[in-house]
Structure 1
Amino acid sequence: MRKLQSQGVHHITLTGADRQTSIDFWEGTLGMPFVFDQPNLDNPREGHLYFDPGDGRLITVFTDEDRVPNARRTPTDPGCVHHLAFNLSRATFLQAVDRLNERGISHSGPKDRGFMDSIYFKDPMGLLIELACYKFEPPSGCTHADVMIRAHQIRVHAGDYNITEIHLADAIESLVSDRQNSLSVDRSARNPY
């Protein structure tokens, strides 16, 4: 038996409201360019809008002109989607509260998650959206996941409850040490003063 090896998220498809509400939210609020439009090939009454969330992958939305926004929270029963999280730069994240407030969008305010900061709010159909901003940049040649697994190992070894900035900094130092050669025999921290 062999795995069906995933190589990333291809796309996520959501059930949206009408066409204009969907465009106004995904492009007009979250800044995702509207890149493709066609009928829903399984239901010709619906539209199928495609948006680029910033990494070239796709968020797609089924639209129906008879559906109207419904801010009631989507179900969170087992098997349901709890929320979608989108990455923001630090510069944009620091302005997110003001930008949500100017649209009258109710939100959680910033939440410290140890390795990232988050803000939560609902889309026009009640789906919880998270705006997330990592507290670190991975070293060259590494991914955020590389840093996270190393920080997790450091945290568990230390017996700490959750990942914090010290685990991230130590993980980054460890990854650089593993991946980057040096002419120095002793690469330990030293005080030159």
Structure 2
Amino acid sequence: MDTHAQSRSTRPQIKRLHHAAYRCQSSEDTRAFYEDFLELPLAGALKITQTKTGRQTEVLHTFYQLGDGSHLAFFEAPDQPFEFKSQHDFDLHIALEVDPTHLQHMLQKGKEQQIETRGPSDHGFIDSIYFRDPNGYVVELCAKKPGHDEHLKLNNTDAKKLLDQWNKASVK
């Protein structure tokens, strides 16, 4: 039996996201957005003064906890150049699940606080709203709609067909 086919037919062995990490320009501005606005508690911080290769540095690594126990994390590394730019949704965005009531609450809160706020957008299987954090990253809040689990499922043959069609059409 093909071991790859066998592994694809079972649930993934990677349990869940522990954290996704991004650069930030200011740990305090980032904290204000993620903790004060999005209401994700600051759950940890780590000051890094030396890399594993022995280079001296001055980096702050912060962690904001989501409801499932996973984290969004940020590195403020002033001594390491990084190009911060406003990201397009297709380039990079962070999507976080909320319930429909909270989605509406956050839409209103974003507008009231004059944070760049877009949406709602109906994607068929989710409704989404979008904000831009102080680092230029797009943050999407999304609420599941009926049919969500059918749209995103293990061994999704419709997704595989669409990907195959896309790949065949884009062959140069």
- For normalisation by structure 1, the TM-score amounts to 0.62
Output the CA distance in 1 between the equivalents of 2:146 and 2:65.
Answer: 24
State which structure, 1 or 2, has the greater radius of gyration over its C-alpha atoms: 1
Distance 1:90 1:75 in 2: 24
Pick aligned residue for 1:52 from 65, 73, 84:
65
Question: Is 2:153 the partner of 1:149?
Answer: yes
Query: 2:144 aligned to 102, 116, 134, which one?
Result: 134
Q: Distance in 2 between matches of 1:66 and 1:124?
A: 19
- Shift in CA distance, 153/75, structure 1 to aligned 2, threshold 3 Å: closer
Match of 2:74 among 55, 61, 78: 61
Matching residue of 2:109: 99
Among the aligned pairs, what percent are the same residue?
A: 24
* Aligned-partner Cα distance in 2 for 1:53–1:65: 26
User: How many residues are aligned here?
Assistant: 144
Q: Measure how far apart 1:6 and its partner are.
A: 2.0
SS of the residue corresponding to residue 61 of structure 2 reads strand
Pick 1 or 2: higher relative contact order, CA cutoff 8 A, min separation 6.
2
Deviation per CA, 1:11-50: give whole Å up to 9, x if none.
Answer: 1001012121111011111111101111136364110111
The answer (yes or no) to whether the contact 2:87–2:93 under 8 Å persists in 1 is no
In structure 2, the CA distance between the partners of 1:71 and 1:94, relative to structure 1 (3 Å rule), is: farther
Gaps of 5+ in 1: 138-143, 156-193
For the Cα contact (< 8 Å) 2:126–2:144, is it kept in 1? Answer: yes
Which residue in 2 is equivalent to 1:112? Answer: 122
Output the amino acid matched with 2:61.
H
Mapped to 2, the partners of 1:14 and 1:154 lie a distance apart of 32
- CA deviation profile, 1:40-75 (whole Å, cap 9, x unmatched): 3636411011110221011111124689xx984137
Q: Residue in 2 aligned with 1:15?
A: 23
TM-score (norm 2): 0.68
Shift of 1:76: 7.5
Q: Is the 8 A contact 1:19 1:65 kept in 2?
A: no
8 Å contact 2:94–2:139 — kept in the other structure?
A: yes
1:122 aligns with 2:132: yes
| Separation of aligned partners in 2, 1:118 and 1:27 | 20
For the residue of structure 2 that corresponds to 1:28, the secondary structure is helix
C-alpha RMSD of matched pairs (Å): 3.5
Query: What are structure 2's unaligned runs of at least 5 residues?
Result: 160-172
Distance 1:98 1:65 in 2: 34
Q: CA deviation at 1:123?
A: 1.0
Report how far residue 125 of structure 1 moved: 0.9
For 1:12 and 1:94, how far apart are their aligned partners in 2?
Answer: 25
CA distance in structure 2 between the aligned counterparts of 1:82 and 1:88, rounded to whole angstroms: 19
